[in-house]
Structure 1
Amino acid sequence: MQVGANVAVVGAGWAGMAAAIAHTEAGHNVTVLEAARTLGGRARAVPGVLPDGAPATLDNGQHILIGAYTESLRLMRLVGVNPDAALLRLPLTLQFPNGQGLCLPDLPPPLDALLGIARAKGWSWADKLALLRTATAWQLRGFRCDPGTSVATLCAPLTPRLMAEFIDPLCVSALNTPATEASGQVFLRVLRDSLFSGRGGSNLLLPRVDLGRLFPQAAAQWLAQRGGQVLTGQRVQALQPLAGGRWGLDCKGDTGGTDNTSVPSAVFDHVTLACPSWEAARLVADVGQAPGAAHASTASAWAACAGALRFEAITTVYAHGPGVRLPQPMLALRSQPGQPAQFVFDRGQLDGQHGLLAFVVSASQGDRATTEQQVLQQATVQLGLPPLQPVQTVVEKRATFACTPGLRRPAMQVLPGLTACGDYVDGPYPATLEGAVLSGTAVVRSVGESATA
């Protein structure tokens, strides 16, 4: 693709904004088309109202970043976000309200893990030695295992306490998939890159601003300053392959909103699909089914692969209590029947919304009302808090793909002039913000490689 090409990026989530930045840096003219009115995709800000009627800024899910997310941090700095101010950096901590659990000290690896495990409260020496032996074995094997291995099988040598208090919460937070169903190989890759990527790689980075301000909104401003456009309320209805690898887009504007700017050009030299996998599968499948379509079998195969992905839900329950403050900004909770949340975050210690707590239920299965009531009761039982008032419960039914053993994920290159990016495309990471932005940044390299192949 020549410098100065007209590029459309379909979707303004984290992957889409990363792809738009990469295309812009490569010298292309970029137009981002977003069906919604809000930037950020599945990591975006949402408005809320506190019990007293005061407005609140929430997120559609409480996200955690880690120090090893080097591409996310690089992009934030590039678009003018200061990670040191926008993120609260803490040592890797998986501690429960009673203080039991793991907290790593600020030391270079592997000393931080060794000392953290040795000091872990509530773990017997049998627990600690089992974890050290197993982790050493993983390291000696290069953090590799058979692709068909589940996390539960991978961790079979560990004790029940370690599974319940360390592996299960770590797995569900990183992969959003229960350990019995989650990919052992992806789990090992996450452990390797977080615990052994250098000092601070395992640190927790908790957002101190809403997810829109953390990256996508600043990215849109960065693009606008360089001639790019981000158009919201523009849903791509269909893709039309044209001669020379160019593409036509059939868009439908949202006439119910305030931003009804029309797409400046319906024909592009290249299109990057940064929309959800099911939407990308729909668009590509339609291309493959068109009469006389070139590359029909390739398009159909890609769409089938993307469409076969299974998804896990995440529920975030926001609740408020006057004067409520947790002993730490984030605590692990004991998830069990009737008490589904695995973590709770004190938004007062993060973004100044005092008394506001965010409870996270990964791999959520219950309905909204039941989950909300169970979490509010869990807060009373496990945190010893007086009854909290519900603020808002957000259910992302397709928050992440189910990261299962041997999962086949669609490729980044779809057809000539058409690529895809997102946390679901083929790659080493689960559905995380870092996986999303890495795929977006890699789009330009993918285009260059396909052009010279």
Structure 2
Amino acid sequence: MAGPRRVAVIGGGWAGLAAAVHATRAGHHVTVLEMAPQLGGRARQIDSHGMALDNGQHILIGAYTETLALMQLVGVDLTRALRRLPLRVTYPDGTGLQMAAGKPIPAFLRAIATYPGWTRQDKWALLRTAAGWALRGFRCDPTWTVSQLTARLPAAVRDALLDPLCVAALNTPADQASAQVFLRVLKDALFSGPGSADLLLPRWRLSALWPDPAGRWLAARGAEVHLSRRVDSLSPRTEGGWDVDGTAFDAVVLACTAHEAARLTEGFEPGWAETARGLQYEPIVTVYAHSPETRLPQPMMALRSDSRQPAQFVFDLGILCGMEGVLAFVVSGAAPWVAQGADATMAATLRQGQQALAGQLRAPLTGLRAVNEKRATFLCTPGLKRPPMTVRPGLFAAGDYTEGPYPATLEGAIRAGLAAGSALDA
């Protein structure tokens, strides 16, 4: 093991903070440099209409073991911060997957067997296909898309369950999404023990779940955290180590966006920079709306989406965090709607909400804000080449976009940060 080192973490998102916490616990002298005025990256709090909102509605699941462990480490009370529910993909008409609490595999089998609206043939086809996935170790041809993986299943199964799960987990439409990554997500949810498939819905704003407590934890242990600090230059030092804007460090963790990491490395590692810059992205739009005195039957419900109905899910923020009557509609795989513009997306989502939730709304929906996270996630396609964690000795990348088996999720970011932090000790 190496001794204490001076470490710069460029980027204060979820991955960067995970790397910084790990390095600080290992005894290194850590400096976090974040270009934004707040920590959190693409999962943070924003303010609008006098309300504290998020830049998107993120879902955690019970299998996010590393994320949950780090949140506890920095003092987050998980019981208060997260609402735990069995996995449900339930539509306003009462149909949908509704798993019970307990071991995920038996719960999944029971949920399929009792799925309302499916025929016996639909259920048997999914159970037979899922058993085949499990027998093959949740592996498939790496060139397949999710649409190819599920092509032989009935349309009712694909449309009501698998395609919505795909776009929720990978933020990539099923006809473009990597089947291998999708199967890995299913494996972790179903085979990681009791509660692994549970939904953990945030009761607190995203900044309070991890970024802000992590920042306080780091500051209390002597780490430096600088906000509104964009790094202009990064270069290797002839005597070893790295020069970050004129300051010497023994090691550096690039936890900024892939685009920023490419900018900083293109002068000395053009191949790595080209791979990072070559990633394509898919936006997520979150439409916040208000309907006074409305309370949905569940804190999260699925919606049927198509070319005229943008959103796949709606969250009741009154149930989750006391913001009565505020609903958050999530549009994943949102590129076609972003092309139409924010006004068109808002109008279409409000129309969809009025129709889909007609039996639950106490008053007409009024739009509050449409938040467009343009580079929410990388497009998770088959055979995607992602940049490796190690850029050069002493220079590591940490982000959900680096090489690994996971899509762009909070757990993927946290694990990438921990891996980069561990590499500092080698």
**Equivalent-residue separation in structure 2 for 1:388 and 1:108 (angstroms):** 39
| 1:291 equivalent in structure 2 | none
| 1:302 equivalent in structure 2 | 272
**Equivalent-residue separation in structure 2 for 1:441 and 1:398 (angstroms):** 23
Among candidates 303, 319, 323, match of residue 293 of structure 2: 323
Q: Is the 8 A contact 2:91 2:301 kept in 1?
A: yes
| 2:212 equivalent in structure 1 | 217
Give the partner amino acid of 2:25: E
How far apart are 1:338 and its partner, in Å?
A: 1.3
Aligned length: 419
Q: Provide the alpha-carbon RMSD of the alignment.
A: 1.1
Q: Is the 8 A contact 1:87 1:207 kept in 2?
A: yes
**Equivalent-residue separation in structure 2 for 1:444 and 1:337 (angstroms):** 43
Report 1:2-401 matches (<5 A).
Answer: 2-49=2-49, 55-250=50-245, 266-285=247-266, 287-288=267-268, 299-365=269-335, 366=337, 367-384=341-358, 385=361, 386-401=363-378
Residues 372-395 of structure 1: CA distance to partner in whole angstroms, max 9, x if unpaired? 110011011111134211111100
Q: Is the 8 A contact 1:245 1:270 kept in 2?
A: no
How far apart are 1:249 and its partner, in Å?
A: 1.3
Q: Is the 8 A contact 1:272 1:421 kept in 2?
A: yes
Residues 95-129 of structure 1: CA distance to partner in whole angstroms, max 9, x if unpaired? 10011010111121321111111111121111111
**Equivalent-residue separation in structure 1 for 2:3 and 2:119 (angstroms):** 61
Give SS of 1:318's match.
strand
398-407 vs 376-385, greater mean Cα deviation:
376-385
Give SS of 2:230's match.
strand
Give the partner amino acid of 1:368: A
Give the partner amino acid of 2:39: L
Q: Is the 8 A contact 2:23 2:424 kept in 1?
A: no
Residues 308-341 of structure 1: CA distance to partner in whole angstroms, max 9, x if unpaired? 1000000000001110111110000000121110
Give the partner amino acid of 2:100: P
**Equivalent-residue separation in structure 2 for 1:392 and 1:31 (angstroms):** 35
How far apart are 1:416 and its partner, in Å?
A: 2.0
Q: Is the 8 A contact 1:311 1:400 kept in 2?
A: yes
Q: Is the 8 A contact 1:34 1:233 kept in 2?
A: yes
Q: Is the 8 A contact 2:22 2:422 kept in 1?
A: no
Give the partner amino acid of 2:312: Q
Give the partner amino acid of 1:334: R
Give the partner amino acid of 2:10: V
Moved >6 Å (runs of 4+): none
How far apart are 1:3 and its partner, in Å?
A: 2.3
Give SS of 1:312's match.
strand
Q: Is the 8 A contact 1:88 1:350 kept in 2?
A: yes
Give the partner amino acid of 1:377: R
Q: Is the 8 A contact 2:2 2:425 kept in 1?
A: no
Residues 270-298 of structure 1: CA distance to partner in whole angstroms, max 9, x if unpaired? 1100001111011111x32xxxxxxxxxx
Give the partner amino acid of 2:416: S
Residues 381-430 of structure 1: CA distance to partner in whole angstroms, max 9, x if unpaired? 11113421111110011100000001110000001221100000000100
Give the partner amino acid of 2:182: F
How far apart are 1:266 and its partner, in Å?
A: 1.4
**Equivalent-residue separation in structure 2 for 1:96 and 1:444 (angstroms):** 42
**Equivalent-residue separation in structure 2 for 1:371 and 1:387 (angstroms):** 17
Unmatched 5+ stretches in structure 1: 50-54, 251-264, 289-298
| 1:422 equivalent in structure 2 | 399
Give the partner amino acid of 1:353: M
Q: Is the 8 A contact 2:251 2:424 kept in 1?
A: no
Give the partner amino acid of 2:299: P
**Equivalent-residue separation in structure 2 for 1:326 and 1:57 (angstroms):** 21
Give SS of 2:225's match.
strand
**Equivalent-residue separation in structure 1 for 2:39 and 2:406 (angstroms):** 23
**Equivalent-residue separation in structure 1 for 2:5 and 2:379 (angstroms):** 36
